[in-house]
Amino acid sequence: MLTTAILFCGTLIFIFLIRSASPFGIELTGDKTNTIQTVKVKTANYQNGYTYNRNFLGLIEAKQNSVLGFEFGGRIINIGVNEGHIIKAGDVLAELDTARLNARVNEAKANLLKVKADEKLANSTYQRIHDARQKKSVSAQEKDEASEARDRTLAAVKVAEAQLESIIIDVDKSKLISPYNGTVIRRMVDEGTVVNAGQAVLEIQTNFEHDIRVGVSSEVAKNLAVSDQKKVKVNDLWYDATIKAILPTRSQTRTVDIILKLNKNDEILRSGDVARLPIDYKIPGRGFWVPITALKEGRRGLWSLYIIDKNQGQLKTERRTVQVHYTNSVQAFVSGAIKNGEIIITQGAAKLVPGQEVRLMESDNES
């Protein structure tokens, strides 16, 4: 039984060996073309510059934002709004205690009555002396003195009227008035607080009217102008905007601030939202675009490309050094020792060596 099994196995091995192309069943000969790498290519097409795209970040700002306070100090007796309240232009937002001012108003009114009585008496006196002077009953000096007294009382009346008006204005200014329609953003103090002149009491801003402040580089600012139309992205939504100002000074970040006005207001926007402004501008310089996959990094930070060298009917690689001017996620703008119209290998540069024979991928030669 064992002998039969051995004979059967030997027969199978013999059949396998005689059908193989080598004594061990391994292909010994191969097609030489299998060692030639197939590559993708494109034609170098020189241009006189490239468009540089960059995103600049900015913030949504309310068109108007004000921190309100009283023009003079005093004790606050009423604040009629809280944070988040919608207000209208002319609304009374807060009031100071005006007891002392009211007393001054009464005093000024009384003083005005007094000087008006003096004025009336001075006018009557002047008229009598004037009539007497016509009859030569009084001297010219007496007439002049009566005229001067009348003028002094008239001036005193004007001073008293001005003083009364000033105090009344102070009474009016003891009320904090909303300068425009908007919303209360912050309330800094409460009733009973004694505030100084100019101390912050409330912060307000306009509703649904926004500008965008974006800081850009000096180079970008040179290529922008007031009234330029731009697209901005806020909260994954695109908005049309117009440049309304380019500030002449630099910000703390050493950038140039540009102010854009949204062409259409949107209630979902809030002050402090981040805006993204993409800007394209032309960079002059002769070069051409290549896929990033065509570049091979060399020594000392140099970059190179492989071109196709047609030598005696064979397609072989030739390495050329280039300078990279700009890259994005897909391609690079380069210049160097490559002539316009030469064939560039666009893929697999890292696996190639100079002088290597290659084969072009069919229907993949890009212009």
Comparison of pLDDT for 29 and 134, the residue scoring more: 134
Query: Within this chain, do residues 60 and 111 fall inside the same structural domain, yes or no?
Result: no
Query: Within this chain, do residues 163 and 228 fall inside the same structural domain, yes or no?
Result: no
Q: What is the pLDDT of residues 163-202, one digit of tens each?
A: 999 999 999 999 999 999 999 999 999 999 999 999 999 9
- Pairwise CA distance, residues 203 & 62, whole Å: 12
Q: Do the domain assignments include residue 118?
A: yes
Query: Within this chain, do residues 294 and 362 fall inside the same structural domain, yes or no?
Result: yes
Q: Do the domain assignments include residue 88?
A: no
- Pairwise CA distance, residues 232 & 259, whole Å: 12
Q: What is the pLDDT of residues 134-169, one digit of tens each?
A: 887 888 888 888 889 899 999 999 999 999 999 999
Query: Within this chain, do residues 251 and 214 fall inside the same structural domain, yes or no?
Result: yes
> Residue 244 sits in which domain range?
54-64+206-281
Task: Determine the pLDDT at residue 253.
Answer: 76
Task: Determine the pLDDT at residue 4.
Answer: 55
Query: Within this chain, do residues 5 and 17 fall inside the same structural domain, yes or no?
Result: yes
Q: Do the domain assignments include residue 79?
A: no
Query: Within this chain, do residues 116 and 153 fall inside the same structural domain, yes or no?
Result: yes
What CATH number does the domain containing 149 carry?
1.10.287
Structure tokens at 204: 């307000």
Q: Do the domain assignments include residue 181?
A: no
- Pairwise CA distance, residues 135 & 144, whole Å: 16
Domain count, the chain: 4
Task: Determine the pLDDT at residue 25.
Answer: 39
What CATH number does the domain containing 323 carry?
2.40.420.20
- Indicate the residue type of 225: A
Q: Do the domain assignments include residue 269?
A: yes
Q: Do the domain assignments include residue 239?
A: yes
Q: Do the domain assignments include residue 76?
A: no
Neighbours of 154 (CB within 10 A): 16
Structure tokens at 226: 């007031």
Torsional sign, CA 294, 296, 302, 304: negative
Q: Do the domain assignments include residue 301?
A: yes
Query: Within this chain, do residues 267 and 292 fall inside the same structural domain, yes or no?
Result: no
CA distances from 104 to 44, 111, 174 (A): 89, 10, 14
Q: What is the pLDDT of residues 58-107, one digit of tens each?
A: 999 988 999 999 999 999 999 999 999 999 999 999 999 999 999 999 99
Query: Within this chain, do residues 250 and 290 fall inside the same structural domain, yes or no?
Result: no
Contact between 256 and 215 under an 8 Å Cβ cutoff? The reply is yes
Query: Within this chain, do residues 230 and 300 fall inside the same structural domain, yes or no?
Result: no
Neighbours of 319 (CB within 10 A): 17
Per-residue confidence at 116, pLDDT binned at 50, 70, 90?
very high
Per-residue confidence at 12, pLDDT binned at 50, 70, 90?
low
